[in-house]
Structure 1
Amino acid sequence: MNKILFYEKTGCKGNARQKALLESNGYSLEVKSLLDEPWERDQLESYFVDRPVEEWFNDKSPAVKQGQVDPSAFDAAGALDLLLCEPILIRRPLIEMDGHRMCGFDDRVQIMLGINKSFQGLEACQNAKERCD
Protein backbone atom coordinates (compact mmCIF):
# COMPACT_ATOMS: atom_id res chain seq x y z
CA MET A 1 0.00 0.00 0.00
CA ASN A 2 1.35 3.44 -0.93
CA LYS A 3 1.71 5.85 1.95
CA ILE A 4 1.10 9.57 1.55
CA LEU A 5 1.87 12.42 3.90
CA PHE A 6 -1.08 14.77 3.37
CA TYR A 7 -1.08 18.33 4.72
CA GLU A 8 -4.59 19.76 4.94
CA LYS A 9 -6.55 22.57 6.49
CA THR A 10 -8.44 20.70 9.17
CA GLY A 11 -12.16 20.78 8.44
CA CYS A 12 -11.78 21.68 4.75
CA LYS A 13 -14.45 19.89 2.73
CA GLY A 14 -12.29 19.91 -0.39
CA ASN A 15 -9.46 18.19 1.47
CA ALA A 16 -11.98 15.64 2.80
CA ARG A 17 -13.02 14.77 -0.77
CA GLN A 18 -9.37 14.49 -1.83
CA LYS A 19 -8.54 12.17 1.08
CA ALA A 20 -11.57 9.97 0.31
CA LEU A 21 -10.48 9.66 -3.33
CA LEU A 22 -6.92 8.75 -2.35
CA GLU A 23 -8.10 6.16 0.18
CA SER A 24 -10.50 4.65 -2.39
CA ASN A 25 -7.49 4.29 -4.70
CA GLY A 26 -5.57 2.26 -2.11
CA TYR A 27 -3.47 4.95 -0.46
CA SER A 28 -2.75 5.04 3.26
CA LEU A 29 -2.67 8.62 4.57
CA GLU A 30 -0.78 10.29 7.36
CA VAL A 31 -2.71 13.54 7.77
CA LYS A 32 -1.22 16.68 9.29
CA SER A 33 -2.45 20.23 9.68
CA LEU A 34 -0.96 22.61 7.12
CA LEU A 35 -1.60 25.50 9.51
CA ASP A 36 0.05 23.92 12.56
CA GLU A 37 3.22 22.72 10.88
CA PRO A 38 6.37 24.69 11.84
CA TRP A 39 7.49 25.16 8.23
CA GLU A 40 11.11 25.71 7.29
CA ARG A 41 11.75 27.74 4.14
CA ASP A 42 13.49 24.97 2.14
CA GLN A 43 10.98 22.37 3.27
CA LEU A 44 7.98 24.41 2.11
CA GLU A 45 9.61 25.42 -1.17
CA SER A 46 10.25 21.77 -2.02
CA TYR A 47 6.49 21.23 -2.50
CA PHE A 48 6.38 23.79 -5.32
CA VAL A 49 9.03 22.34 -7.66
CA ASP A 50 8.24 23.04 -11.32
CA ARG A 51 5.25 25.24 -10.45
CA PRO A 52 5.06 28.95 -11.23
CA VAL A 53 4.99 31.11 -8.08
CA GLU A 54 1.37 32.06 -8.76
CA GLU A 55 0.38 28.41 -8.30
CA TRP A 56 1.88 28.30 -4.80
CA PHE A 57 -1.08 30.30 -3.50
CA ASN A 58 -4.54 29.09 -2.53
CA ASP A 59 -6.68 31.03 -4.99
CA LYS A 60 -9.75 30.24 -2.83
CA SER A 61 -8.41 32.10 0.22
CA PRO A 62 -10.35 35.29 1.05
CA ALA A 63 -7.23 37.49 0.80
CA VAL A 64 -6.57 36.30 -2.76
CA LYS A 65 -10.22 36.34 -3.84
CA GLN A 66 -10.71 39.86 -2.46
CA GLY A 67 -7.57 41.16 -4.16
CA GLN A 68 -5.65 41.85 -0.94
CA VAL A 69 -2.95 39.42 -2.13
CA ASP A 70 -1.99 39.23 -5.80
CA PRO A 71 0.03 36.02 -6.35
CA SER A 72 1.31 37.30 -9.70
CA ALA A 73 3.08 40.17 -7.91
CA PHE A 74 5.55 37.91 -6.07
CA ASP A 75 8.89 36.42 -6.88
CA ALA A 76 9.85 33.13 -5.21
CA ALA A 77 11.57 34.72 -2.21
CA GLY A 78 8.73 37.15 -1.50
CA ALA A 79 6.11 34.45 -1.92
CA LEU A 80 7.89 32.17 0.54
CA ASP A 81 8.20 34.99 3.06
CA LEU A 82 4.45 35.59 2.93
CA LEU A 83 3.45 31.91 2.90
CA LEU A 84 5.63 31.19 5.92
CA CYS A 85 3.95 34.05 7.80
CA GLU A 86 0.44 33.25 6.59
CA PRO A 87 0.13 29.52 5.83
CA ILE A 88 -3.60 29.88 5.10
CA LEU A 89 -2.43 31.26 1.74
CA ILE A 90 -0.61 28.02 0.81
CA ARG A 91 -2.24 26.02 -1.95
CA ARG A 92 -3.39 22.73 -0.54
CA PRO A 93 -3.05 19.92 -0.06
CA LEU A 94 0.67 19.47 0.20
CA ILE A 95 1.47 15.84 -0.56
CA GLU A 96 4.59 13.76 -0.07
CA MET A 97 4.93 10.24 -1.44
CA ASP A 98 8.10 8.22 -1.97
CA GLY A 99 10.25 11.33 -1.59
CA HIS A 100 8.24 13.29 -4.18
CA ARG A 101 6.51 16.46 -3.02
CA MET A 102 3.66 18.30 -4.72
CA CYS A 103 0.95 20.88 -4.06
CA GLY A 104 -2.68 21.10 -5.06
CA PHE A 105 -4.91 18.40 -6.47
CA ASP A 106 -5.23 19.24 -10.14
CA ASP A 107 -4.89 16.82 -13.07
CA ARG A 108 -1.10 17.02 -12.90
CA VAL A 109 -1.03 15.81 -9.28
CA GLN A 110 -3.62 13.12 -9.95
CA ILE A 111 -1.47 11.76 -12.80
CA MET A 112 1.63 11.78 -10.57
CA LEU A 113 -0.33 9.77 -8.01
CA GLY A 114 -1.43 7.28 -10.64
CA ILE A 115 -5.12 8.14 -10.50
CA ASN A 116 -6.12 7.29 -14.04
CA LYS A 117 -9.51 8.96 -14.13
CA SER A 118 -9.44 12.75 -13.93
CA PHE A 119 -11.69 14.14 -11.23
CA GLN A 120 -12.57 17.76 -11.86
CA GLY A 121 -13.33 20.26 -9.13
CA LEU A 122 -11.41 18.56 -6.33
CA GLU A 123 -9.67 21.83 -5.48
CA ALA A 124 -12.90 23.83 -5.54
CA CYS A 125 -15.16 24.59 -2.61
CA GLN A 126 -18.52 22.88 -3.16
CA ASN A 127 -20.39 25.52 -1.25
CA ALA A 128 -20.10 29.11 -2.48
CA LYS A 129 -20.45 30.26 1.14
CA GLU A 130 -17.58 28.06 2.32
CA ARG A 131 -14.57 30.08 3.41
CA CYS A 132 -10.93 29.03 3.36
CA ASP A 133 -9.75 31.15 6.26
Structure 2
Amino acid sequence: MADVIFFEKPGCGGNTRQRKLLEEAGHTVHVRDLLSEPWTAESLRPFFGDWPVADWFNRAAPAIKAGEVDPDAQDEASALALMLKTPLLIRRPLMQVGDRRECGFEAERVDAWIGLATKPEGRLEGCARPDMPPCPPPSKR
Protein backbone atom coordinates (compact mmCIF):
# COMPACT_ATOMS: atom_id res chain seq x y z
CA MET A 1 0.00 0.00 0.00
CA ALA A 2 1.06 3.57 -0.61
CA ASP A 3 1.87 6.56 1.56
CA VAL A 4 -0.20 9.30 -0.06
CA ILE A 5 0.38 12.99 0.60
CA PHE A 6 -3.11 14.39 0.04
CA PHE A 7 -3.60 18.13 -0.40
CA GLU A 8 -7.22 19.04 0.25
CA LYS A 9 -9.46 21.99 0.99
CA PRO A 10 -10.36 21.58 4.68
CA GLY A 11 -14.04 20.79 5.08
CA CYS A 12 -14.54 19.75 1.43
CA GLY A 13 -17.01 16.85 1.28
CA GLY A 14 -15.61 15.66 -2.04
CA ASN A 15 -12.09 15.45 -0.63
CA THR A 16 -13.45 13.57 2.39
CA ARG A 17 -15.04 10.93 0.09
CA GLN A 18 -11.80 10.63 -1.89
CA ARG A 19 -9.69 10.27 1.24
CA LYS A 20 -12.04 7.57 2.56
CA LEU A 21 -11.63 5.55 -0.66
CA LEU A 22 -7.85 5.71 -0.34
CA GLU A 23 -7.97 4.64 3.32
CA GLU A 24 -10.40 1.78 2.54
CA ALA A 25 -7.85 0.54 0.01
CA GLY A 26 -5.25 0.37 2.77
CA HIS A 27 -3.26 3.45 1.84
CA THR A 28 -1.83 5.73 4.50
CA VAL A 29 -3.10 9.24 3.81
CA HIS A 30 -1.13 12.24 5.05
CA VAL A 31 -3.54 15.18 4.82
CA ARG A 32 -2.25 18.66 4.04
CA ASP A 33 -4.13 21.93 3.68
CA LEU A 34 -4.01 22.91 0.02
CA LEU A 35 -4.99 26.50 0.82
CA SER A 36 -2.25 27.20 3.38
CA GLU A 37 0.61 25.30 1.72
CA PRO A 38 3.43 27.74 0.82
CA TRP A 39 3.28 26.94 -2.91
CA THR A 40 5.76 28.17 -5.47
CA ALA A 41 5.45 27.74 -9.22
CA GLU A 42 8.21 25.12 -8.98
CA SER A 43 6.48 23.10 -6.25
CA LEU A 44 2.99 23.29 -7.79
CA ARG A 45 3.73 22.68 -11.48
CA PRO A 46 4.73 18.97 -11.21
CA PHE A 47 1.21 18.02 -10.03
CA PHE A 48 -0.22 18.86 -13.46
CA GLY A 49 2.07 16.69 -15.58
CA ASP A 50 1.04 16.81 -19.22
CA TRP A 51 -2.58 17.84 -18.54
CA PRO A 52 -3.89 20.74 -20.64
CA VAL A 53 -3.60 23.98 -18.66
CA ALA A 54 -7.39 24.44 -18.55
CA ASP A 55 -7.65 21.12 -16.67
CA TRP A 56 -5.44 22.39 -13.86
CA PHE A 57 -8.33 24.50 -12.59
CA ASN A 58 -11.07 23.81 -10.06
CA ARG A 59 -14.10 24.68 -12.17
CA ALA A 60 -16.18 25.18 -9.01
CA ALA A 61 -13.93 28.01 -7.77
CA PRO A 62 -15.91 31.20 -7.13
CA ALA A 63 -13.71 33.30 -9.44
CA ILE A 64 -14.34 30.88 -12.31
CA LYS A 65 -18.08 30.63 -11.68
CA ALA A 66 -18.27 34.45 -11.54
CA GLY A 67 -16.47 34.72 -14.89
CA GLU A 68 -13.47 36.51 -13.37
CA VAL A 69 -11.06 33.75 -14.47
CA ASP A 70 -11.30 31.85 -17.76
CA PRO A 71 -9.27 28.62 -17.49
CA ASP A 72 -9.39 28.18 -21.26
CA ALA A 73 -7.63 31.52 -21.81
CA GLN A 74 -4.60 30.79 -19.60
CA ASP A 75 -1.10 29.72 -20.50
CA GLU A 76 1.13 27.85 -18.05
CA ALA A 77 2.74 30.94 -16.50
CA SER A 78 -0.52 32.86 -16.05
CA ALA A 79 -2.30 29.81 -14.64
CA LEU A 80 0.40 29.23 -12.04
CA ALA A 81 0.44 32.93 -11.10
CA LEU A 82 -3.33 32.90 -10.60
CA MET A 83 -3.20 29.71 -8.52
CA LEU A 84 -0.40 31.01 -6.30
CA LYS A 85 -2.47 34.12 -5.63
CA THR A 86 -5.78 32.23 -5.20
CA PRO A 87 -5.27 28.55 -4.25
CA LEU A 88 -9.03 27.86 -4.52
CA LEU A 89 -8.41 27.84 -8.28
CA ILE A 90 -6.30 24.66 -8.00
CA ARG A 91 -8.03 21.46 -9.06
CA ARG A 92 -8.04 19.13 -6.11
CA PRO A 93 -6.97 16.99 -4.55
CA LEU A 94 -3.29 17.13 -5.26
CA MET A 95 -1.67 13.80 -4.42
CA GLN A 96 1.90 12.62 -4.18
CA VAL A 97 3.24 9.10 -3.81
CA GLY A 98 7.02 8.96 -3.90
CA ASP A 99 8.17 11.19 -6.74
CA ARG A 100 4.91 11.00 -8.69
CA ARG A 101 2.42 13.84 -8.36
CA GLU A 102 -1.15 14.04 -9.68
CA CYS A 103 -4.12 16.40 -9.57
CA GLY A 104 -7.80 15.54 -9.40
CA PHE A 105 -9.42 12.27 -8.49
CA GLU A 106 -10.57 10.20 -11.43
CA ALA A 107 -11.20 6.80 -9.86
CA GLU A 108 -9.98 4.75 -12.83
CA ARG A 109 -6.72 6.70 -13.03
CA VAL A 110 -6.14 6.51 -9.25
CA ASP A 111 -6.94 2.79 -9.26
CA ALA A 112 -4.44 2.15 -12.06
CA TRP A 113 -1.81 4.21 -10.22
CA ILE A 114 -2.03 2.98 -6.60
CA GLY A 115 -5.18 0.87 -6.38
CA LEU A 116 -8.64 1.31 -4.90
CA ALA A 117 -10.55 -1.38 -3.01
CA THR A 118 -13.88 -0.41 -4.58
CA LYS A 119 -14.74 1.13 -7.91
CA PRO A 120 -17.08 4.00 -7.06
CA GLU A 121 -19.70 5.04 -9.57
CA GLY A 122 -19.98 8.57 -10.87
CA ARG A 123 -17.58 11.45 -10.62
CA LEU A 124 -15.76 12.00 -7.36
CA GLU A 125 -14.62 15.51 -8.15
CA GLY A 126 -16.59 18.64 -7.51
CA CYS A 127 -18.69 19.84 -4.64
CA ALA A 128 -20.73 17.27 -2.73
CA ARG A 129 -23.27 19.89 -1.67
CA PRO A 130 -26.66 19.25 -3.29
CA ASP A 131 -27.17 22.96 -4.02
CA MET A 132 -24.04 23.12 -6.19
CA PRO A 133 -24.09 22.07 -9.84
CA PRO A 134 -21.58 19.38 -10.83
CA CYS A 135 -18.24 20.46 -12.23
CA PRO A 136 -17.75 19.75 -15.91
CA PRO A 137 -15.41 16.83 -16.56
CA PRO A 138 -11.83 17.62 -17.51
CA SER A 139 -10.87 17.27 -21.13
CA LYS A 140 -9.16 14.07 -22.12
CA ARG A 141 -5.40 14.11 -22.56
Q: Same fold (TM over 0.5)?
A: yes
Q: Summarize the alignment of residues 28-107 of structure 1 with structure 2, pairs less than 5 Å apart.
A: 28-106=28-106, 107=108
What SS is found at the alignment partner of 1:72? helix
> Are the equivalent residues in 2 in contact too, given 1:4–1:96 (CA < 8 A)?
yes
User: Which sections of structure 2, spanning at least 5 residues, go unmatched?
Assistant: 134-141
> Are the equivalent residues in 2 in contact too, given 1:110–1:118 (CA < 8 A)?
no
1:126 equivalent in structure 2: 128
Figure out how many residues of one structure are paired with residues of the other and give that number.
Answer: 131
Q: CA RMSD in A?
A: 1.8
Mapped to 1, the partners of 2:64 and 2:29 lie a distance apart of 29
Q: By how many angstroms is 1:12 displaced?
A: 0.3
TM-score using structure 1 length? 0.90
Mapped to 1, the partners of 2:130 and 2:120 lie a distance apart of 23
Higher mean alpha-carbon deviation, 63-72 vs 21-30, is at 63-72
Structure 1 residue 113 and structure 2 residue 114: aligned?
A: yes
User: Which sections of structure 1, spanning at least 5 residues, go unmatched?
Assistant: none
TM-score using structure 2 length? 0.85
Mapped to 2, the partners of 1:93 and 1:50 lie a distance apart of 17
Q: By how many angstroms is 1:130 displaced?
A: 5.3
2:11 equivalent in structure 1: 11
